[in-house]
């Protein structure tokens, strides 16, 4: 164990020394497992992998702008449950319970058919090469880019899990009514910091949510910062007969664009989810970060990119762990 710790320290020093060198490895020492993720991993084994993925995401988003948020969300909901291992994609069977029926995912996650289409083409071009977990990480980046947000080099090398955990999906994924302490705890439980939580919350600058997820906002339960005009708009939308399925934009101003408008909205009392508005009403530190991102979109983009890379490396299965699924919905 001492030798292993010494090796980890050496690798950490090397990674710092070569931090700006292209194709560097992201190596994390966890017990006796070395987790290695690498950019341009498929350069030789499947050179068309990223162009194929981008093409499918571009097509999906052009047909439905909301799909950018949906595909990004798949990656989030995957990584928060035992790491980024594509467990969220596994279907239930007679003898297997996946994560799709967990309350945070049921009738909420979408875009599975886009992942299926990407996987099918990749299997025809370079079979058994690109994992479903790497596909999820890449479509998340591409969705952000296509919506006008920052780009980053996706680190590859994840394997796909053989198992899933409905219980972990229920317990680990932050809910729409979460308080700031709950948000901080759930992010820290998976290895993400206070700052990561505020930066990654900015993903809510695009996408939609059902009336049922923000019902407490409808009754003005979020303190003095409530925006009455905004509240009336939501009450009108959610008073209609089909309110259970009615959707509202997380960002009314620029709903399909990845920008810093989410933080601007929070400061004017127009955060849709209670967990969003809580960032400015419940905690001084989160409010200060919201202010900084509202004032400086480039700072938000940089922090979001770095936090996405950090989240994307959580619990990655590599080496002899996991497998590369032929079909993302079932284990081989």
How does pLDDT run across 70-103, given as a tens digit for each residue?
Answer: 999 999 999 999 999 999 999 999 999 999 999 9
Give the chain's mean pLDDT: 88
Residue carrying the six token digits 């009108």: 236
Annotated binding site for substrate: 174
Domain containing residue 178: CATH number:
1.10.420.10
Q: Which of 17-21, 94-98, 189-193, 255-259 has the lowest mean pLDDT?
A: 17-21
Q: Residue 237: its pLDDT value, please? A: 87
What are phi and psi for residue 292, nearest 5 degrees?
A: -65, -40
Q: What is the mean pLDDT of residues 213-240?
A: 78
Is 37 a domain residue?
no
Q: Smallest Cα–Cα separation from 26: which of 10, 17, 38? A: 38
Q: For 287-316, what is the mean pLDDT?
A: 97
pLDDT beyond 60 at 1? no
Burial 64-80 (b: 16+ CB within 10 A, else e): ebbbbbbbbbbbbbbbb
Q: What is the rounded average pLDDT of the residues 273-286?
A: 95
Catalytically annotated residue among 4, 75, 77, 249: 77
Name the least confident of 28-37, 131-140, 286-295.
Answer: 28-37
286 near 279, Cβ under 8 Å?
yes
Q: Do the Cβ atoms of 286 and 230 come closer than 8 Å? A: no
The binding site comprises: 78, 81, 83, 85, 87, 99, 174, 204-205, 251, 254, 259
Residue 4 annotated in active site: no
How many angstroms separate the CA atoms of 53 and 119, rounded? 9
In a domain, 272, yes or no: yes
Residue 6 domain flag: no
Assess if residue 173 is contained within a domain.
yes
In a domain, 21, yes or no: no
Output the pLDDT for position 74.
98
**Alpha-carbon dihedral angle through residues 211, 221, 271, 88, given to the nearest 10 degrees:** -50
Count of domains in the chain? 1
Mean pLDDT, residues 177-203 taken together: 97
Domain for residue 41, yes or no? no
Query: Does residue 323 form part of some domain?
Result: no
Domain that holds residue 183: 48-313
């Amino acid at each position: 164990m001492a030798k292993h710790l010494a090796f980890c320290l050496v690798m950490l020093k090397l990674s710092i020394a070569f931090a700006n060198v292209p194709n560097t490895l992201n190596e994390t020492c966890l017990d006796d497992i070395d987790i290695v993720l690498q950019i341009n991993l498929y350069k030789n084994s499947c050179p068309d992998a990223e162009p194929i993925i981008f093409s499918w995401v571009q097509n999906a988003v052009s047909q439905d702008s909301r799909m950018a948020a949906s595909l990004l969300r798949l990656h989030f909901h995957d990584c928060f449950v035992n790491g980024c291992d594509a467990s969220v994609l596994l279907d239930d069977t007679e003898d297997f319970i996946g994560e799709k029926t967990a309350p945070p995912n049921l009738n909420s996650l979408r875009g599975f058919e886009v992942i299926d289409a990407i996987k099918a083409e990749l299997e025809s071009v370079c079979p058994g090469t690109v994992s479903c977990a790497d596909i999820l990480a890449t479509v998340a980046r591409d969705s952000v880019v296509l919506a006008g947000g920052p780009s980053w080099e996706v680190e590859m090398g994840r394997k796909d899990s053989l198992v899933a955990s409905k219980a972990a999906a229920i317990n680990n994924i932050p809910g729409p009514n979460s308080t700031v302490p709950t948000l901080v705890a759930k992010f820290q439980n998976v290895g993400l910091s206070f700052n990561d939580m505020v930066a990654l919350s900015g993903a809510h600058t695009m996408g939609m949510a059902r009336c049922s997820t923000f019902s407490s906002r409808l009754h003005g339960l979020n303190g003095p910062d409530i925006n009455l005009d905004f509240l009336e708009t939501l009450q009108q939308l959610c008073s209609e007969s089909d309110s259970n399925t009615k959707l509202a934009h997380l960002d009314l101003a620029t709903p399909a664009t990845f920008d810093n408008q989410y933080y601007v909205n929070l400061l004017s009392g127009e955060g849709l989810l209670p967990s969003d508005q809580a960032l400015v009403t419940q905690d001084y530190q989160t409010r200060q970060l919201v202010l900084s991102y509202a004032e400086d979109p480039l700072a938000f983009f940089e922090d979001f990119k770095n936090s996405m890379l950090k989240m994307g490396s959580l619990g990655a299965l590599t080496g002899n762990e996991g497998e590369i699924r032929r079909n993302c919905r079932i284990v081989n």
